[in-house]
Amino acid sequence: MGRTTDPGGDEAVLSLSFDGRITDAGDGAQTLLGYRPEDLFGRPVEEVIPEPGGLLTGPGHDLGAAIGDGSSRFELSCRCADGSVFPALVTVWHSMEEHGLTITAAIRRLSTEDKLAGAINLVGALVRSSHDAIMAADRDGMITIWNPAAERLYGYTAAEMLGRPRSVLFPPDGLELEEERFRRTIAGSHVEMFSATRRHKDGHLLTVAATISPIADAQGHIIGAAGFSRDIGETNRAQSMFRGLLNALPIGIIGIGEDGLIRFVNPETERLFGYGAEEVLGLPVERLIPRAPEQDQSLQGVRKDGSRFPAEVSLSSIDVGSETLISATVVDTTERNAAEGERIRLQQELNAALRLESVGQLAGGVAHHFNNLLAIIDSHAGFVAEELSNPITGSSVREALTDIAQIRKTVDRASEYARQLLAFGRREVARPVRHDISRTVADVYALLSHSLGDDITITTNAHQDLPSVVVDPGQLEQTLVNLALNARDAMPHGGRLSITAEPCTRSAPGTRAARYVKIRVTDTGTGMPPEVLERAFEPFFTTKDPAVVSGMGLAVAHGMVTAAGGEINISSEPGRGTTVVIMLPAEDVPEPRRGTDDPAPGSVESDDGRRTILVVDDEADLREVVRRMLGKSGYDVIVAADGPEALDRARTHTGRIDLLITDIMMPEMSGTQLAEQLREFRDNVPVLFMSGYAAPVLAEKGTLDPDTVLLQKPFRKAELITAVENMLSVSV
């Protein structure tokens, strides 16, 4: 039931509406607040109580949620009509009556006794809510206060302990020391903090961190002592376990302070460095692990005897309250490094063995194919000799010419085979240019659309915005043709072949994305089992008749792609066809100088109709062949077997030297070195290099130096003369 009248002039009673406005005021409002009751009607309660706090919003008595009878008490500031403010004790009643919710607030000036009672209540609340066990005893040692935390810690309820002696908590062997501490405290000693053993109600012992301090009355007389205690047994056990783990770890642990000095070490650290713990505590950590020079990131540990060992160090921080320690774990990596070195050595031996096996397989395949070709050449050469040793007739001449044609055809086969071997070994002379792959895709489609068979459908699709790639167009076309022929053989009953090209980007973490062109060749053929797939790029490995194919197709494709800085991968499953993906990087490089097969403008003109050419090759028979070819074409020829001889001939020759034709790989002096030295005294002499193995002038990825013009062996007379005419026409 709400109050509507004042009990006296020292209290003002206000009635409030649901929205917090004053609906009625007692006579005490004028005495206490300076307001006439009628002046307060309709005003918000905040004009009297500036911060109503829980009066309007506190839990359990919210104006919008107060259901049923109840009251709450608050210490708030109240404001008088003249604007002065005083501390007040505000009691609020709220009840639900027939006409609705009734709220009444009684305001009374807060007295000294009220403040004291509030403080006592606060202290009581603190004692009750403390997580530490709190007990108080009078001067005779009888317990007068026992909080809930003490009940939980010691197992006794407050009813069991109030009025009992403190000594019930002490084991016999600790009783004398505890009593001595108590006597010192009630005699006026300062607060004592200590670790003690106490006895639980069930008899087991506890290890506690305890504090005891005197209690004085208002006049300063000591009337008893207060004790605070907390169980530290679990903490001690955890610390003991932690120390046990540190001591058992097979790695060194060093605790380092913020000043860089060593705070603690574990036994493994003592074993690693040869120091006792007492010898290193307080020393700089650099005594054990010196800083590595800037150019060397490897760390070393220094033992007591001065010897060193390779160390792996990991750091982490530990917050210990008063400061942050750095924990350094130290591992001696001597054995690990030795094991890693042994692993690398064994891997190198395995790689060498695999290379030898691969070389053996390669040598066997080369010997097999070249022996066949040599047998064909030798046989037809024998036929020619037989035919020319007998009386020459028209029939014998025709047979001899037929045999000679077969010899040249076989030489062409050997030359193509050598080119494939060089491509596989990334030693073929590649002629890379900036190339639009869509042109190659179109050319391959035109070549294959009517040659794969009516039962095979071929489709191509090249993205219209393909970036250029740096590649030998001829090698790329041959690679795609070889892949298409492999696909045809895998589809004996027909199927679909698709060749697509599209741009893409790839990047590794921390690097810029690189542009690539992705070429995908997909068929619907029989596919490959895993054991065949893993050997697909091996030279001479084939599942077909070795008498029909060489087994070099995919190996050559691999060599071409890797020479261009790209990647080639195969995915296949039996019955699901095969997909070959080629990734070629898109990049810009200068166009190389025109090759020997490029058309040359104009024709050779000379004053006397003859030019002088210096021919250098360490192979006598080939040197003679070149001399005869050039001589029959109207050139004067000077021949030399090597670089020094060629320089001597050039110095003693009194006329012009219009062209140098030189092999690249020669003893004593390479062809490039010869050209450099010749130009020191024969200015601007053009040079035509010839080689079947052009490694000295190949840059990375198997590309030819842009300033080099090269005639690849073997060559025929027409190719030689065309190359010579091109060189001489450019030099005019």
Residues 660, 721, single domain; the answer is yes
pLDDT (tens digit, 9 = 90+) per residue, 627-644? 988 998 899 999 999 999
Average pLDDT of span 438-465: 82
Task: Choose the weakest-confidence range: 398-402, 417-421, 437-441, 622-626.
Answer: 417-421
Backbone angles phi, psi at 456, to 5 degrees: -115, 125
Does residue 4 sit within a domain?
A: no
- Does residue 607 lie within any of the structural domains? no
Q: What backbone torsions phi and psi does residue 173 show, to the nearest 5 degrees?
A: -75, -10
Whether residue 410 is found in the same domain as residue 450: no
The residue assigned the tokens 């050595």 is 345
The predicted-structure confidence for 517-561, as pLDDT tens digits, reads as follows 999 999 999 888 888 777 777 655 565 544 444 445 577 777 778
Q: Is residue 5 part of a domain?
A: no
> In 3D, which of 438, 538, 441 has the Cα closest to residue 480?
441
Kindly tell me the number of DSSP H helices and DSSP E strands found in the chain.
Answer: 20, 27
Q: Would you say residue 59 has pLDDT above 60?
A: no
List pLDDT tens digits, range 395-419.
878 888 888 888 888 887 777 666 6
Q: Are residues 351 and 437 in the same domain?
A: no
- Which pLDDT score is estimated for 120? 65
Residue 169's pLDDT band (cuts 50, 70, 90)? very high
Please report whether residue 599 resides in a domain.
Answer: no
Q: Which residue, of 310, 332, 354, is where some domain finishes?
A: 332
CATH of the domain at 523: 3.30.565.10
576 and 448 part of one domain: yes
Closest CA to 132 of 227, 237, 197, 234: 227
Q: Is residue 648 predicted with pLDDT exceeding 90?
A: yes
Between 116 and 638, residue with greater pLDDT = 638
The 3-state DSSP class for residue 616 equals: strand
| pLDDT, tens digit (0-9, with 9 covering 90-100), for 228-249 | 888 877 666 666 676 777 777 7
Going by pLDDT thresholds of 50, 70 and 90, the confidence category of residue 665 is confident
Quick check: is 57 in a domain? yes
Nearest Cα to 513, choosing from 581, 585, 450, 405? 585
Instruction: Please give the pLDDT value at position 507.
Output: 66
Domain extent for 464: 433-585
Do 208 and 245 sit in the same domain of this protein?
Answer: no
> Per-residue pLDDT for 362 more than 70?
no
Q: Are residues 484 and 622 in the same domain?
A: no
Please state, in angstroms and rounded to a whole number, the distance separating the CA atoms of residues 317 and 52: 49
How large is the average pLDDT for residues 276-284?
Answer: 89
Q: Are 370 and 547 in contact (CB under 8 A)?
A: no
| Burial of 480 (C-beta count, 10 Å sphere; 0-12/13-18/19+) | buried
* Contact (Cβ atoms closer than 8 angstroms) between residue 284 and residue 297: no
What is the domain-level CATH number for residue 644?
3.40.50.2300
Distance between CA atoms of residues 224 and 174, nearest Å: 21
CA gap 48, 64 in Å, rounded = 21
Is residue 96 domain-shared with residue 173, that is, in the same domain?
no
142 CB contacts (<8 Å, ≥6 apart)? 163, 164, 165, 166
Task: List Cα–Cα distances, 106 to 6, 29, 58, 72, in angstroms.
Answer: 8, 10, 17, 11
Query: 709 lies in a domain?
Result: yes
Kindly report the average pLDDT of the chain as a whole number. Answer: 79
Whether 159 and 17 map to the same domain: the answer is: no
The pLDDT of residue 677: 92
Out of 231, 256, 276, a domain closes at: 231
For residues 616 and 704, membership in a common domain is answered with yes
Determine the pLDDT at residue 54: 56
Same domain, 489 and 571: yes
Domains in the chain, number? 6
Are 441 and 512 found together in one domain?
yes
Separation between Cα atoms, residue 175 and residue 169, nearest integer Å: 9
Q: With pLDDT > 70 as the criterion, what percentage of the chain qualifies?
A: 77
- Written as six digits, the tokens of 320 are 């210990």
Give the H or E element holding residue 243: helix 233-248
> Is residue 607 scored above 50 in pLDDT?
no
Question: What distance lies between CA 84 and its chain's CA centroid?
Answer: 70
Contact of 503 with 584, CB cutoff 8 Å? no
Written as one letter, the residue type at 575 is G
- CB proximity list for 275: less than 8 A, separation 6 or greater: 265, 288, 304
Among 214-228, 311-325, 626-640, name the most confident range. Answer: 626-640
State the DSSP code for 189. Answer: P
- Is residue 592 one of the residues assigned to a domain? no
Residue 606 has pLDDT above 50, yes or no: no
CB-based contacts of 586, cutoff 8 Å, min separation 6: 467, 468, 469, 503, 515, 516, 517
Run of H or E including 506: strand 495-506
- 224: domain CATH number? 3.30.450.20
Assigned domain for 316 exists: yes
Look at residues 302, 332, 362 and tell me which one is the last residue of a structural domain. Answer: 332
**Pair 185, 214: CB distance under 8 Å:** yes
Q: Are 424 and 384 in contact (CB under 8 A)?
A: no
Burial label for 425, CB within 10 Å (0-12, 13-18, 19+), is middle
Cα 54 to Cα 1, 116, 127, distances in angstroms: 20, 22, 24
Residues 441 and 578 in one domain: yes
Secondary structure (DSSP) of 41-97 = TT-BGGGTSS--THHHHSTT--TTT--SSEEEEEEEEEE-TTS-EEEEEEEEEEEEE
Q: Is the pTM of this model over 0.85?
A: no
The pair of structure tokens assigned to 33 is: 């607040």
DSSP strand pairing (495-506 vs 469-471): unpaired
